[in-house]
Structure 1
């Protein structure tokens, strides 16, 4: 069997340098031209050059690269006595973090390709208690280096999961260790089913619950990030992810309830976004969604939606609507949301952000779920103003494909079991906007057809 289509080819630093050298020696190119030609030729051939140090011959060497220099010196220091971490080590780790945090520099790839993950894991394994500053610096650097499949596999081969979980457990009282440690877990588990499984085998859910319960006032965002990464099926190498089972395990021991408590306690905007995404990742079935509501989750999310409207925070508005949509999948929660004037609050939110179709589409998604198979809720939605929202939004944003599609889906659920709504929406003139969406956007065709059919129109397939 040959290599898969679109497979990425790799090249060593030595082979790359040799290509540049041949351009100079055999083709007579000047050094700058030789370098650019090598980069262009290899890129066209589908060679992955990430992590390759590209320098003009005669103007420096690979060893002069600041990332390589950091790694070489860290390696030398790491070879010293295992119970000593020099101040220089910490300075170098901080420098490496700074270099790898430079967007577009490719430094993280250079570092991981040249042994950075192995070096830092080795340093972490040697640091003694009392050197928390060194551990924090090492973990911060490591989180940046775990940027692709290869670096994460190197982390796994270096026994990284067990190492980091041990560091977090031993350094539980240090907020910086918790924050940087869970940042490493989030980075490592991204797109890697094997590492997710290893962390779960290490009972990471118990450690997460302990942090959420004991350190709630600290609001450690990386803990929320780690939860949703661990529960996201994002590894395209596997046919069946195990994250659904992990989510049920997380909920069973109380993580969903702890997340609700965190959201109710009041978080910064960025932490609230991460916590909401984490809670949505845990809410994988009706039982969990219902338990979240019973523990005050619906109330907490509705308050956050109100606050996002008052503060003009579109990001929080979208994320909280997305979470509410997931919770509304439970029929019991549908009733609770409507009884708490959820429809009115959503329409109020739409008025606040009517200039942004990305917010409107999330609001429509919630109303659509609330109205599904419920003529009473559909009637309540129309009373709140869902019909006007659909008409005005479709008219104002004809090019917003996802919003147009969500509007069609919402209209269908509003009228499918409610004849009165059918008449009201047809009289409003919404039909022509549905037909425009169907004609202009392939992604809207099915939803628009269904909306026209459930509006009672015979020519819905035209």
Structure 2
């Protein structure tokens, strides 16, 4: 049975919040700060979503906030009242005051600044500014950077889609006059717009924007920044991460892009061009996109027949000491190993030994352990000969050590339970090797410590090990 998304919280309006604050001040003689804190606590207890509310001191006077004033300035300039370059600079400066640099995630705008900009019409104003700046590259790049910053908040992403933002990006990407920098910035904005917004994903595919990016990715001289951004868009539209619609078209997008636009072959060509050891970040983006696009047996087989599995293994051998590339390679191979054809090819090419090596190289990384175990589990499923090969390669010790080292990580424990079950289900001769290493106690501990993820698979592993009371 498919897991249901959690029920969405009701959205609190700015008016309701401001009224509660005013009531706290007038009825209970609170200071404004006390009234705000009390209102926040009360609405949180009631289960409201406060993401669209400005809770700071500016809550009652949003129009005079510097961000709102700057948004109005851009709107006025787009209407011919004032200088557009100066208005864009003013908005950039006002947003910078509320921007922080997140480790590994780039610049991000505070929630309240996002709300004020949204209520001030920043998205519509910047889209109009983009149209008026098409012939001025420097100015256009500044507007696209502002759009990317604003798209960190879900409601502005919805507003971007509703205001025909995807169509604007398509025009920029297909315009022969657009520079490489503009196309890279447009792709970066497209990726940001598609995150958790199903409608944006569908429009990016239906408008031909993703097909255009795949075509441009085939250029042998495509800059790495563009490669990373374009792959990010392809990955976004093939990822189901919007909990609001009843269903996602991510799987269908992967099939359409692979069948009609040769997406998996394009990605293989890019993977072969990117120097993974020197450009690990770009390599990770390409590999992550391969994992998403390889959504069914047919696509996996096409990638394999073209040499894609061997290309991924080559990257893994060369870059195993680099944790992020190692994890991305293992993740792509894990997805590909759902195919029975790929399972045997991987086993013959030394993937089992390579997975064990990766876990050993990154013994402190629960993420590497989880994805390596997942790869091995997929490879060995219904493949008793590969299970024997895995036992000879040290996988049993690897499983036990991973369970001991990462006892607090539920996802690692679950994969270890699954691998144990898969290895002994059709190979009873392997049971004593697991039991003498103390796996029974580890499985029972995992069931108790992580009941949601491990109770079912832990019980199944204990049962297939031939143990009594496996449900205890």
TM-score, normalization: structure 2?
0.86
Mapped pair 1:218 → 2:218: no
**Who is 2:103 aligned against?**
none
The correspondence for 2:402, drawn from 390, 393, 403, is: 393
Segments of 5+ residues of structure 1 without an aligned counterpart are none
**Who is 1:138 aligned against?**
143
**Who is 1:79 aligned against?**
79
SS of equivalent to 2:321? helix
Mapped pair 1:200 → 2:211: no
Deviations 1:235-287 (A, max 9, x none): 22222322212111111222211212222222422222222221111001111
The correspondence for 1:174, drawn from 156, 175, 179, is: 179
**Who is 1:372 aligned against?**
381
The correspondence for 2:247, drawn from 228, 240, 250, is: 240
In structure 2, how many angstroms separate the alpha carbons of the residues matched to 1:26 and 1:244?
Answer: 55
The correspondence for 2:12, drawn from 10, 30, 33, is: 10
Cα offset, 1:101, TM superposition: 3.6
SS of equivalent to 2:245? coil
Cα offset, 1:342, TM superposition: 0.8
The correspondence for 2:127, drawn from 121, 131, 143, is: 121
Cα offset, 1:324, TM superposition: 0.8
SS of equivalent to 1:272? helix
The correspondence for 1:284, drawn from 295, 299, 304, is: 295
The correspondence for 2:115, drawn from 109, 112, 120, is: 109
**Who is 2:271 aligned against?**
263
In structure 2, how many angstroms separate the alpha carbons of the residues matched to 1:301 and 1:365?
Answer: 16
CA contact (8 A) 2:191 2:233 kept: yes
**Who is 1:328 aligned against?**
337
In 2 relative to 1, CA 419–44 (structure 1 residues): closer, same or farther, beyond 3 Å?
closer
Segments of 5+ residues of structure 2 without an aligned counterpart are 1-5, 101-107
In structure 2, how many angstroms separate the alpha carbons of the residues matched to 1:46 and 1:460?
Answer: 40
In structure 1, how many angstroms separate the alpha carbons of the residues matched to 2:190 and 2:11?
Answer: 28
Cα offset, 1:396, TM superposition: 3.2
In structure 1, how many angstroms separate the alpha carbons of the residues matched to 2:19 and 2:265?
Answer: 58
Equivalences for residues 53-72 of structure 1 within 5 A: 53=54, 56=57, 62-72=62-72
In 2 relative to 1, CA 44–80 (structure 1 residues): closer, same or farther, beyond 3 Å?
farther
SS of equivalent to 1:244? helix
Deviations 1:285-320 (A, max 9, x none): 111111112223212222332344323x2x332222
In structure 1, how many angstroms separate the alpha carbons of the residues matched to 2:447 and 2:467?
Answer: 15
Q: Structure 1 residues 260-269 or 131-140, which shifts more?
A: 260-269
Which stretches of structure 1, 4 residues or longer, exceed 6 Å deviation after superposition? none
Q: Structure 1 residues 321-330 or 208-217, which shifts more?
A: 208-217
TM-score, normalization: structure 1?
0.88
What is the Cα-based RMSD across aligned positions, in Å?
2.9
